[in-house]
Amino acid sequence: MSDIRVRFAPSPTGFLHIGGARTALYNWLFARKNGGKLVLRIEDTDTERSTDESSKAIIEGLDWMGIHPDVGPYNQSEYLEEHKARAEQMVQSGVAYRCFCTKEELAAKREEAQGRKDTYMYDGKCASISLDESNKRAQNGEPFVVRLRVNREGKESVSFDDLVFGHIEVALVDIDDFVIVRTNGVPLYNLANVIDDHRDRISHIIRGADGLTNTPKQVLIYEALGWEVPLFAHMALTLDPSKAKISKRRHGEVVAVEFYRKHGFLPWAFCNFLALLGWSAGDDREIYETPEDLIEAFCIERISKSNSIFNYRKGDPKFITDPKALVINGAHLRSMPVESLFPHVKKWLEERDLWNPRWDHEEKEWFLNTVDLIRERYHILEDFTEQGAAYFTDDYPITQKAMKRIQKDPVLEKGFNLLAERYEKLEEFNLETTEQELRALCDDMDIKPGLLINGVRSAVTGQIKGPGLFQILETLGRTSVVRRLRAGSKLVGGENE
Protein backbone atom coordinates (compact mmCIF):
# COMPACT_ATOMS: atom_id res chain seq x y z
CA MET A 1 0.00 0.00 0.00
CA SER A 2 1.19 3.47 -0.89
CA ASP A 3 1.95 5.97 1.87
CA ILE A 4 0.97 8.82 -0.33
CA ARG A 5 -1.68 10.95 1.30
CA VAL A 6 -2.82 14.34 0.11
CA ARG A 7 -5.55 16.67 1.17
CA PHE A 8 -7.80 19.42 -0.02
CA ALA A 9 -8.37 21.87 2.81
CA PRO A 10 -10.74 24.63 1.72
CA SER A 11 -12.02 27.36 4.01
CA PRO A 12 -15.82 27.40 3.67
CA THR A 13 -16.17 31.10 3.06
CA GLY A 14 -17.84 31.12 -0.34
CA PHE A 15 -18.66 28.93 -3.28
CA LEU A 16 -16.27 26.37 -4.76
CA HIS A 17 -14.09 28.53 -6.91
CA ILE A 18 -12.28 27.24 -10.01
CA GLY A 19 -8.93 27.86 -8.26
CA GLY A 20 -9.98 25.64 -5.36
CA ALA A 21 -11.49 23.08 -7.70
CA ARG A 22 -8.20 22.91 -9.58
CA THR A 23 -6.31 22.34 -6.32
CA ALA A 24 -8.72 19.55 -5.41
CA LEU A 25 -8.37 18.03 -8.87
CA TYR A 26 -4.57 18.01 -8.83
CA ASN A 27 -4.57 16.40 -5.39
CA TRP A 28 -7.06 13.82 -6.53
CA LEU A 29 -5.12 13.04 -9.72
CA PHE A 30 -1.92 12.66 -7.74
CA ALA A 31 -3.56 10.36 -5.19
CA ARG A 32 -5.16 8.21 -7.88
CA LYS A 33 -1.97 8.01 -9.88
CA ASN A 34 0.01 6.80 -6.88
CA GLY A 35 -2.54 4.61 -5.19
CA GLY A 36 -2.71 7.18 -2.39
CA LYS A 37 -5.53 8.66 -0.37
CA LEU A 38 -7.26 12.03 -0.58
CA VAL A 39 -8.45 13.69 2.61
CA LEU A 40 -11.11 16.41 2.49
CA ARG A 41 -10.82 18.75 5.46
CA ILE A 42 -13.09 21.75 5.74
CA GLU A 43 -11.10 24.44 7.53
CA ASP A 44 -13.97 26.10 9.32
CA THR A 45 -12.21 27.59 12.33
CA ASP A 46 -12.77 31.16 11.21
CA THR A 47 -16.27 31.17 12.65
CA GLU A 48 -17.05 34.66 11.47
CA ARG A 49 -16.53 33.87 7.80
CA SER A 50 -17.32 30.15 7.59
CA THR A 51 -20.82 29.03 6.67
CA ASP A 52 -22.53 25.65 6.42
CA GLU A 53 -23.91 26.72 3.10
CA SER A 54 -20.42 27.15 1.76
CA SER A 55 -19.27 23.74 3.10
CA LYS A 56 -22.24 22.20 1.36
CA ALA A 57 -21.47 23.98 -1.92
CA ILE A 58 -17.85 22.79 -1.79
CA ILE A 59 -18.78 19.17 -1.08
CA GLU A 60 -21.49 19.16 -3.74
CA GLY A 61 -19.24 20.82 -6.29
CA LEU A 62 -16.52 18.21 -5.79
CA ASP A 63 -19.08 15.46 -5.95
CA TRP A 64 -20.36 16.80 -9.27
CA MET A 65 -16.78 16.85 -10.59
CA GLY A 66 -16.44 13.21 -9.60
CA ILE A 67 -13.87 13.95 -6.90
CA HIS A 68 -14.70 11.72 -4.01
CA PRO A 69 -12.38 11.86 -1.00
CA ASP A 70 -11.15 8.70 0.66
CA VAL A 71 -11.16 10.35 4.09
CA GLY A 72 -13.70 12.97 5.19
CA PRO A 73 -15.15 15.41 4.66
CA TYR A 74 -14.52 16.44 8.23
CA ASN A 75 -14.54 19.83 9.88
CA GLN A 76 -11.36 21.24 11.32
CA SER A 77 -13.37 22.64 14.24
CA GLU A 78 -13.91 19.07 15.51
CA TYR A 79 -10.26 19.15 16.56
CA LEU A 80 -10.25 22.52 18.29
CA GLU A 81 -9.54 21.00 21.70
CA GLU A 82 -6.62 19.03 20.32
CA HIS A 83 -5.21 22.19 18.73
CA LYS A 84 -5.49 24.06 22.01
CA ALA A 85 -3.93 21.24 23.99
CA ARG A 86 -1.04 21.05 21.54
CA ALA A 87 -0.47 24.81 21.79
CA GLU A 88 -0.43 24.58 25.59
CA GLN A 89 2.05 21.73 25.38
CA MET A 90 4.25 23.86 23.14
CA VAL A 91 4.23 26.62 25.75
CA GLN A 92 5.07 24.21 28.54
CA SER A 93 7.89 22.65 26.56
CA GLY A 94 9.28 26.05 25.65
CA VAL A 95 9.02 25.91 21.84
CA ALA A 96 6.34 28.57 22.11
CA TYR A 97 5.66 31.31 24.65
CA ARG A 98 2.87 33.51 25.86
CA CYS A 99 3.04 37.12 24.82
CA PHE A 100 1.30 39.57 27.13
CA CYS A 101 2.02 42.69 25.11
CA THR A 102 -1.11 44.78 24.78
CA LYS A 103 -2.63 45.76 21.47
CA GLU A 104 -1.77 49.41 22.16
CA GLU A 105 1.83 48.57 22.92
CA LEU A 106 2.20 46.61 19.70
CA ALA A 107 0.40 49.26 17.67
CA ALA A 108 2.81 51.92 18.95
CA LYS A 109 5.81 49.78 17.97
CA ARG A 110 4.31 49.15 14.59
CA GLU A 111 3.79 52.84 14.03
CA GLU A 112 7.31 53.58 15.10
CA ALA A 113 8.67 51.04 12.61
CA GLN A 114 6.55 52.53 9.87
CA GLY A 115 7.95 55.95 10.76
CA ARG A 116 11.44 54.54 10.17
CA LYS A 117 10.13 52.96 6.94
CA ASP A 118 10.97 49.56 8.42
CA THR A 119 8.85 46.43 8.18
CA TYR A 120 7.39 45.83 11.59
CA MET A 121 8.52 42.65 13.34
CA TYR A 122 7.78 41.59 16.88
CA ASP A 123 10.83 42.37 19.02
CA GLY A 124 10.64 39.24 21.22
CA LYS A 125 9.95 41.19 24.38
CA CYS A 126 7.98 38.37 26.08
CA ALA A 127 10.36 35.61 24.99
CA SER A 128 12.35 36.07 28.15
CA ILE A 129 9.47 35.77 30.61
CA SER A 130 10.05 32.64 32.67
CA LEU A 131 7.59 29.79 32.34
CA ASP A 132 6.66 30.13 36.02
CA GLU A 133 5.85 33.79 35.69
CA SER A 134 4.02 33.17 32.41
CA ASN A 135 1.87 30.43 34.00
CA LYS A 136 1.04 32.69 36.94
CA ARG A 137 0.06 35.62 34.77
CA ALA A 138 -2.11 33.35 32.63
CA GLN A 139 -3.78 31.91 35.73
CA ASN A 140 -4.51 35.43 36.92
CA GLY A 141 -6.47 35.95 33.77
CA GLU A 142 -4.07 38.30 31.99
CA PRO A 143 -4.81 38.17 28.27
CA PHE A 144 -2.13 36.75 25.97
CA VAL A 145 -1.42 35.36 22.55
CA VAL A 146 0.95 32.45 21.94
CA ARG A 147 3.96 32.93 19.70
CA LEU A 148 6.31 30.38 18.22
CA ARG A 149 9.80 30.70 19.68
CA VAL A 150 11.59 30.61 16.36
CA ASN A 151 14.72 28.57 16.84
CA ARG A 152 17.53 30.78 15.61
CA GLU A 153 20.40 28.92 17.22
CA GLY A 154 23.02 28.11 14.67
CA LYS A 155 20.46 28.74 11.96
CA GLU A 156 20.16 31.61 9.59
CA SER A 157 17.34 30.47 7.40
CA VAL A 158 14.47 28.10 6.97
CA SER A 159 14.15 26.23 3.71
CA PHE A 160 12.26 23.58 1.82
CA ASP A 161 12.35 22.07 -1.63
CA ASP A 162 9.15 22.77 -3.43
CA LEU A 163 8.32 20.19 -6.07
CA VAL A 164 7.27 22.95 -8.46
CA PHE A 165 9.21 26.06 -7.44
CA GLY A 166 12.38 24.34 -6.34
CA HIS A 167 14.54 25.34 -3.38
CA ILE A 168 13.02 28.10 -1.28
CA GLU A 169 14.91 29.68 1.53
CA VAL A 170 13.87 32.53 3.81
CA ALA A 171 16.27 34.27 6.18
CA LEU A 172 15.21 34.03 9.80
CA VAL A 173 15.86 37.74 10.29
CA ASP A 174 12.79 38.20 8.12
CA ILE A 175 10.56 36.07 10.31
CA ASP A 176 9.52 37.20 13.78
CA ASP A 177 8.18 35.05 16.59
CA PHE A 178 4.76 34.89 14.95
CA VAL A 179 1.43 34.35 16.65
CA ILE A 180 0.05 30.81 16.63
CA VAL A 181 -2.83 31.25 19.10
CA ARG A 182 -5.11 34.28 19.31
CA THR A 183 -6.11 36.09 22.51
CA ASN A 184 -9.41 34.17 22.46
CA GLY A 185 -7.47 30.90 22.73
CA VAL A 186 -8.16 29.78 19.17
CA PRO A 187 -5.12 28.50 17.25
CA LEU A 188 -4.41 30.28 13.99
CA TYR A 189 -4.39 28.71 10.55
CA ASN A 190 -0.66 27.95 10.46
CA LEU A 191 -0.77 25.88 13.63
CA ALA A 192 -4.12 24.15 13.11
CA ASN A 193 -3.19 23.28 9.54
CA VAL A 194 0.12 21.72 10.58
CA ILE A 195 -1.43 19.73 13.42
CA ASP A 196 -4.13 18.38 11.13
CA ASP A 197 -1.78 17.55 8.29
CA HIS A 198 0.40 15.68 10.75
CA ARG A 199 -2.53 13.75 12.23
CA ASP A 200 -3.80 12.99 8.72
CA ARG A 201 -0.33 11.70 7.81
CA ILE A 202 -0.21 13.97 4.76
CA SER A 203 2.82 13.19 2.61
CA HIS A 204 2.41 15.87 -0.07
CA ILE A 205 0.84 19.28 0.27
CA ILE A 206 -0.36 20.46 -3.12
CA ARG A 207 -1.90 23.91 -2.91
CA GLY A 208 -2.02 27.35 -4.47
CA ALA A 209 1.06 29.53 -4.59
CA ASP A 210 -0.71 32.00 -2.30
CA GLY A 211 0.18 29.45 0.38
CA LEU A 212 3.89 30.03 -0.22
CA THR A 213 4.08 32.88 2.29
CA ASN A 214 2.87 30.55 5.03
CA THR A 215 5.04 27.58 4.18
CA PRO A 216 8.30 28.73 5.84
CA LYS A 217 6.37 29.42 9.04
CA GLN A 218 4.71 26.03 8.86
CA VAL A 219 8.07 24.36 8.33
CA LEU A 220 9.28 26.09 11.50
CA ILE A 221 6.26 24.71 13.36
CA TYR A 222 6.95 21.16 12.11
CA GLU A 223 10.55 21.53 13.22
CA ALA A 224 9.55 22.91 16.62
CA LEU A 225 7.28 19.93 17.15
CA GLY A 226 9.94 17.50 15.94
CA TRP A 227 7.64 16.28 13.18
CA GLU A 228 8.63 15.18 9.71
CA VAL A 229 7.99 17.96 7.20
CA PRO A 230 5.78 16.85 4.29
CA LEU A 231 6.70 17.62 0.70
CA PHE A 232 5.24 20.74 -0.83
CA ALA A 233 4.07 21.48 -4.36
CA HIS A 234 2.71 24.96 -4.88
CA MET A 235 0.71 25.71 -7.98
CA ALA A 236 1.03 29.03 -9.75
CA LEU A 237 -2.04 31.22 -9.70
CA THR A 238 -4.74 31.60 -12.28
CA LEU A 239 -5.18 35.14 -13.57
CA ASP A 240 -7.50 36.84 -16.01
CA PRO A 241 -6.22 38.25 -19.34
CA SER A 242 -5.45 41.58 -17.66
CA LYS A 243 -3.31 39.63 -15.12
CA ALA A 244 -5.73 40.26 -12.26
CA LYS A 245 -6.37 37.44 -9.81
CA ILE A 246 -9.66 35.78 -10.61
CA SER A 247 -12.27 36.40 -7.98
CA LYS A 248 -15.98 36.44 -7.45
CA ARG A 249 -15.92 40.15 -6.78
CA ARG A 250 -14.24 40.91 -10.08
CA HIS A 251 -15.57 38.20 -12.34
CA GLY A 252 -18.81 37.00 -10.77
CA GLU A 253 -20.37 33.57 -11.09
CA VAL A 254 -18.12 32.45 -13.93
CA VAL A 255 -15.41 31.56 -11.40
CA ALA A 256 -17.77 29.24 -9.48
CA VAL A 257 -17.94 25.53 -10.25
CA GLU A 258 -21.71 25.82 -9.90
CA PHE A 259 -21.77 28.05 -13.00
CA TYR A 260 -20.43 25.14 -15.09
CA ARG A 261 -22.95 22.69 -13.68
CA LYS A 262 -25.75 25.17 -14.31
CA HIS A 263 -24.77 25.74 -17.92
CA GLY A 264 -24.46 22.09 -18.75
CA PHE A 265 -20.77 21.33 -18.78
CA LEU A 266 -19.93 17.66 -18.56
CA PRO A 267 -18.20 17.10 -15.22
CA TRP A 268 -15.29 15.26 -16.71
CA ALA A 269 -14.81 17.75 -19.56
CA PHE A 270 -14.74 20.53 -16.99
CA CYS A 271 -12.04 18.65 -15.05
CA ASN A 272 -10.13 18.23 -18.31
CA PHE A 273 -10.23 22.01 -18.82
CA LEU A 274 -9.17 22.72 -15.22
CA ALA A 275 -6.31 20.27 -15.45
CA LEU A 276 -4.80 22.26 -18.31
CA LEU A 277 -5.03 25.49 -16.36
CA GLY A 278 -1.50 25.22 -15.05
CA TRP A 279 -0.38 21.77 -16.09
CA SER A 280 0.47 20.00 -19.33
CA ALA A 281 1.95 16.64 -20.13
CA GLY A 282 4.56 18.39 -22.24
CA ASP A 283 2.88 17.60 -25.54
CA ASP A 284 0.01 19.25 -27.36
CA ARG A 285 -2.61 16.94 -26.04
CA GLU A 286 -5.67 18.78 -24.83
CA ILE A 287 -8.36 16.14 -24.69
CA TYR A 288 -8.25 13.40 -22.08
CA GLU A 289 -11.26 11.26 -22.86
CA THR A 290 -11.44 9.55 -19.50
CA PRO A 291 -10.20 10.16 -15.95
CA GLU A 292 -7.89 7.18 -16.39
CA ASP A 293 -6.19 8.87 -19.37
CA LEU A 294 -5.41 11.95 -17.35
CA ILE A 295 -4.42 10.07 -14.21
CA GLU A 296 -1.94 8.15 -16.30
CA ALA A 297 -0.43 11.33 -17.79
CA PHE A 298 -0.46 13.48 -14.65
CA CYS A 299 2.70 14.27 -12.73
CA ILE A 300 3.52 17.02 -10.25
CA GLU A 301 6.77 17.96 -11.95
CA ARG A 302 4.90 19.31 -14.93
CA ILE A 303 2.77 21.72 -12.95
CA SER A 304 3.59 25.12 -14.40
CA LYS A 305 5.66 27.64 -12.49
CA SER A 306 4.10 30.52 -14.33
CA ASN A 307 0.63 31.81 -13.73
CA SER A 308 -2.05 30.43 -16.00
CA ILE A 309 -4.58 32.58 -17.77
CA PHE A 310 -8.29 32.03 -17.46
CA ASN A 311 -9.25 33.63 -20.71
CA TYR A 312 -12.57 35.05 -19.71
CA ARG A 313 -13.56 38.41 -21.11
CA LYS A 314 -16.29 39.94 -19.10
CA GLY A 315 -19.13 41.23 -21.21
CA ASP A 316 -18.19 39.25 -24.34
CA PRO A 317 -21.60 37.96 -25.46
CA LYS A 318 -20.04 35.31 -27.70
CA PHE A 319 -18.44 33.36 -24.90
CA ILE A 320 -19.99 32.72 -21.52
CA THR A 321 -16.59 31.60 -20.23
CA ASP A 322 -13.06 30.85 -21.42
CA PRO A 323 -13.53 29.66 -25.05
CA LYS A 324 -11.16 26.80 -24.32
CA ALA A 325 -13.56 25.45 -21.71
CA LEU A 326 -16.30 25.46 -24.35
CA VAL A 327 -14.10 23.87 -27.00
CA ILE A 328 -12.98 21.11 -24.65
CA ASN A 329 -16.51 20.47 -23.50
CA GLY A 330 -17.73 20.41 -27.10
CA ALA A 331 -15.03 17.93 -28.04
CA HIS A 332 -16.10 15.56 -25.25
CA LEU A 333 -19.75 16.05 -26.07
CA ARG A 334 -19.18 15.00 -29.66
CA SER A 335 -16.66 12.24 -29.22
CA MET A 336 -17.98 10.30 -26.28
CA PRO A 337 -20.15 7.28 -27.07
CA VAL A 338 -23.70 8.52 -27.38
CA GLU A 339 -24.74 5.94 -24.77
CA SER A 340 -22.40 7.64 -22.28
CA LEU A 341 -23.81 11.04 -23.12
CA PHE A 342 -27.35 9.72 -22.68
CA PRO A 343 -27.56 10.01 -18.86
CA HIS A 344 -26.24 13.58 -18.98
CA VAL A 345 -28.76 14.75 -21.57
CA LYS A 346 -31.52 12.83 -19.82
CA LYS A 347 -30.79 14.51 -16.49
CA TRP A 348 -30.56 17.88 -18.19
CA LEU A 349 -33.98 17.42 -19.83
CA GLU A 350 -35.51 15.99 -16.66
CA GLU A 351 -34.45 19.00 -14.65
CA ARG A 352 -36.25 21.17 -17.19
CA ASP A 353 -39.40 19.06 -17.29
CA LEU A 354 -38.73 18.07 -20.86
CA TRP A 355 -38.12 14.38 -20.36
CA ASN A 356 -40.41 11.85 -21.96
CA PRO A 357 -40.16 8.39 -20.32
CA ARG A 358 -40.65 6.75 -23.72
CA TRP A 359 -37.10 7.83 -24.55
CA ASP A 360 -35.93 5.40 -21.89
CA HIS A 361 -37.44 2.39 -23.63
CA GLU A 362 -39.50 2.16 -26.79
CA GLU A 363 -38.11 5.39 -28.27
CA LYS A 364 -34.61 5.14 -26.92
CA GLU A 365 -33.14 4.49 -30.32
CA TRP A 366 -34.88 7.56 -31.70
CA PHE A 367 -33.60 9.61 -28.80
CA LEU A 368 -30.00 8.44 -29.17
CA ASN A 369 -30.06 9.04 -32.93
CA THR A 370 -31.41 12.52 -32.41
CA VAL A 371 -28.79 13.38 -29.80
CA ASP A 372 -26.15 12.04 -32.13
CA LEU A 373 -27.50 14.08 -35.04
CA ILE A 374 -27.69 17.41 -33.27
CA ARG A 375 -24.65 17.24 -30.99
CA GLU A 376 -22.37 17.93 -33.95
CA ARG A 377 -22.60 21.69 -33.41
CA TYR A 378 -23.08 21.82 -29.66
CA HIS A 379 -20.68 22.79 -26.90
CA ILE A 380 -22.66 22.41 -23.70
CA LEU A 381 -25.79 20.59 -22.55
CA GLU A 382 -27.59 23.91 -22.51
CA ASP A 383 -27.44 23.83 -26.31
CA PHE A 384 -29.76 20.81 -26.32
CA THR A 385 -32.50 22.85 -24.73
CA GLU A 386 -31.75 26.18 -26.38
CA GLN A 387 -30.77 25.55 -29.99
CA GLY A 388 -32.13 22.01 -29.81
CA ALA A 389 -35.40 22.58 -27.98
CA ALA A 390 -37.49 21.75 -31.06
CA TYR A 391 -36.35 18.13 -30.96
CA PHE A 392 -37.76 17.58 -27.49
CA THR A 393 -40.81 19.84 -27.23
CA ASP A 394 -43.38 21.55 -29.40
CA ASP A 395 -42.96 24.63 -27.29
CA TYR A 396 -39.65 25.72 -28.80
CA PRO A 397 -38.45 29.30 -29.24
CA ILE A 398 -37.95 30.79 -32.70
CA THR A 399 -34.92 33.03 -33.01
CA GLN A 400 -35.23 36.44 -34.60
CA LYS A 401 -33.19 35.35 -37.57
CA ALA A 402 -35.37 32.28 -38.07
CA MET A 403 -38.47 34.43 -37.87
CA LYS A 404 -37.08 36.65 -40.62
CA ARG A 405 -36.68 33.65 -42.88
CA ILE A 406 -40.18 32.45 -42.18
CA GLN A 407 -41.52 35.88 -43.06
CA LYS A 408 -39.13 36.53 -45.92
CA ASP A 409 -41.66 35.99 -48.71
CA PRO A 410 -45.47 35.86 -48.54
CA VAL A 411 -45.40 32.90 -50.89
CA LEU A 412 -44.15 30.79 -48.01
CA GLU A 413 -47.58 30.82 -46.40
CA LYS A 414 -48.92 28.84 -49.30
CA GLY A 415 -45.68 26.87 -49.57
CA PHE A 416 -45.88 25.66 -45.97
CA ASN A 417 -49.55 24.71 -46.27
CA LEU A 418 -49.14 22.84 -49.55
CA LEU A 419 -46.07 21.05 -48.26
CA ALA A 420 -47.98 20.01 -45.15
CA GLU A 421 -50.75 18.63 -47.32
CA ARG A 422 -48.32 16.71 -49.51
CA TYR A 423 -46.42 15.34 -46.53
CA GLU A 424 -49.67 14.10 -45.01
CA LYS A 425 -50.38 12.13 -48.14
CA LEU A 426 -46.92 10.57 -48.47
CA GLU A 427 -46.92 6.82 -48.25
CA GLU A 428 -43.58 6.86 -46.49
CA PHE A 429 -42.13 9.82 -44.67
CA ASN A 430 -38.35 9.67 -44.81
CA LEU A 431 -35.16 11.40 -45.90
CA GLU A 432 -35.70 10.76 -49.62
CA THR A 433 -39.44 11.20 -49.92
CA THR A 434 -39.49 14.47 -47.97
CA GLU A 435 -36.82 15.89 -50.25
CA GLN A 436 -38.49 14.71 -53.45
CA GLU A 437 -41.81 16.15 -52.38
CA LEU A 438 -40.35 19.50 -51.41
CA ARG A 439 -38.49 19.87 -54.67
CA ALA A 440 -41.54 18.83 -56.68
CA LEU A 441 -43.61 21.44 -54.88
CA CYS A 442 -41.01 24.14 -55.62
CA ASP A 443 -41.20 23.21 -59.30
CA ASP A 444 -44.96 23.40 -59.30
CA MET A 445 -44.98 26.74 -57.52
CA ASP A 446 -42.03 27.98 -59.51
CA ILE A 447 -40.07 29.07 -56.45
CA LYS A 448 -36.46 28.46 -55.53
CA PRO A 449 -35.94 25.37 -53.34
CA GLY A 450 -33.55 27.39 -51.13
CA LEU A 451 -36.33 29.73 -50.13
CA LEU A 452 -38.59 26.91 -48.98
CA ILE A 453 -35.77 24.88 -47.43
CA ASN A 454 -34.64 27.81 -45.29
CA GLY A 455 -38.19 28.71 -44.40
CA VAL A 456 -39.09 25.14 -43.42
CA ARG A 457 -35.95 24.71 -41.35
CA SER A 458 -36.68 27.93 -39.51
CA ALA A 459 -40.30 27.00 -38.91
CA VAL A 460 -39.78 23.44 -37.70
CA THR A 461 -36.69 24.03 -35.54
CA GLY A 462 -36.78 27.75 -34.74
CA GLN A 463 -33.12 27.91 -35.86
CA ILE A 464 -31.37 28.87 -39.08
CA LYS A 465 -28.57 26.35 -38.61
CA GLY A 466 -28.50 22.68 -37.86
CA PRO A 467 -28.23 19.31 -39.54
CA GLY A 468 -29.46 18.69 -43.10
CA LEU A 469 -33.13 19.63 -43.43
CA PHE A 470 -34.37 16.24 -44.58
CA GLN A 471 -32.57 14.52 -41.73
CA ILE A 472 -34.30 16.93 -39.42
CA LEU A 473 -37.70 16.18 -40.96
CA GLU A 474 -37.22 12.44 -40.71
CA THR A 475 -36.13 12.80 -37.09
CA LEU A 476 -39.02 15.01 -36.08
CA GLY A 477 -41.53 12.73 -37.80
CA ARG A 478 -44.51 13.45 -39.95
CA THR A 479 -47.01 14.54 -37.27
CA SER A 480 -44.75 17.18 -35.78
CA VAL A 481 -43.55 18.45 -39.12
CA VAL A 482 -47.05 18.85 -40.52
CA ARG A 483 -48.24 20.60 -37.38
CA ARG A 484 -45.27 22.94 -37.37
CA LEU A 485 -45.62 23.78 -41.06
CA ARG A 486 -49.22 24.82 -40.48
CA ALA A 487 -48.25 26.88 -37.47
CA GLY A 488 -45.44 28.38 -39.56
CA SER A 489 -47.82 29.39 -42.31
CA LYS A 490 -49.72 31.52 -39.81
CA LEU A 491 -46.52 33.31 -38.87
CA VAL A 492 -45.95 34.30 -42.50
CA GLY A 493 -49.45 35.68 -42.74
CA GLY A 494 -49.04 37.33 -39.37
CA GLU A 495 -46.71 39.91 -40.74
CA ASN A 496 -48.66 40.54 -43.89
CA GLU A 497 -51.95 41.45 -42.28
Q: Which residues have CB under 8 Å from 282's CB, separation 6+?
A: 302
- Cβ nearer to ligand GLU, comparing 45 with 134: 45
Contact assessment for residue 462 and residue 402, using Cβ atoms and an 8 Å cutoff: yes
- Cβ nearer to ligand GLU, comparing 26 with 273: 26
- Cβ nearer to ligand GLU, comparing 5 with 98: 5
Q: Going by DSSP bridges, is the β-strand pair 238-239/204-208 parallel, antiparallel, or unpaired? A: unpaired
Contact assessment for residue 463 and residue 384, using Cβ atoms and an 8 Å cutoff: no
- Cβ nearer to ligand GLU, comparing 42 with 276: 42
List the catalytic residues: 248
CA distance 419 to 425: 10
| CA neighbor of 23 nearest in space, from 195, 274, 272 | 274
CA distance 200 to 45: 17
Least spacing, CB of residue 66 vs ligand GLU, in Å: 21
Least spacing, CB of residue 43 vs ligand GLU, in Å: 4
Least spacing, CB of residue 361 vs ligand GLU, in Å: 47
- Cβ nearer to ligand GLU, comparing 80 with 431: 80
Interacting residues toward ligand GLU by CB under 6 A: 9-11, 43, 193, 207, 211
- Alpha helices for 94-141 (secondary structure H): 103-115, 131-139
Q: Which residues have CB under 8 Å from 111's CB, separation 6+?
A: none
Q: What values do phi and psi take at 279, rounded to 5?
A: -150, 145
CA distance 17 to 58: 9
CA distance 192 to 416: 72
Query: In the beta sheet, which residues pair with residue 179?
Result: 147
Contact assessment for residue 232 and residue 160, using Cβ atoms and an 8 Å cutoff: yes
Q: How many of the other CB atoms lie within 10 Å of CB of 397?
A: 11
- Cβ nearer to ligand GLU, comparing 193 with 434: 193
Least spacing, CB of residue 248 vs ligand GLU, in Å: 14
CA distance 334 to 311: 23
Least spacing, CB of residue 214 vs ligand GLU, in Å: 7
Contact assessment for residue 263 and residue 320, using Cβ atoms and an 8 Å cutoff: yes
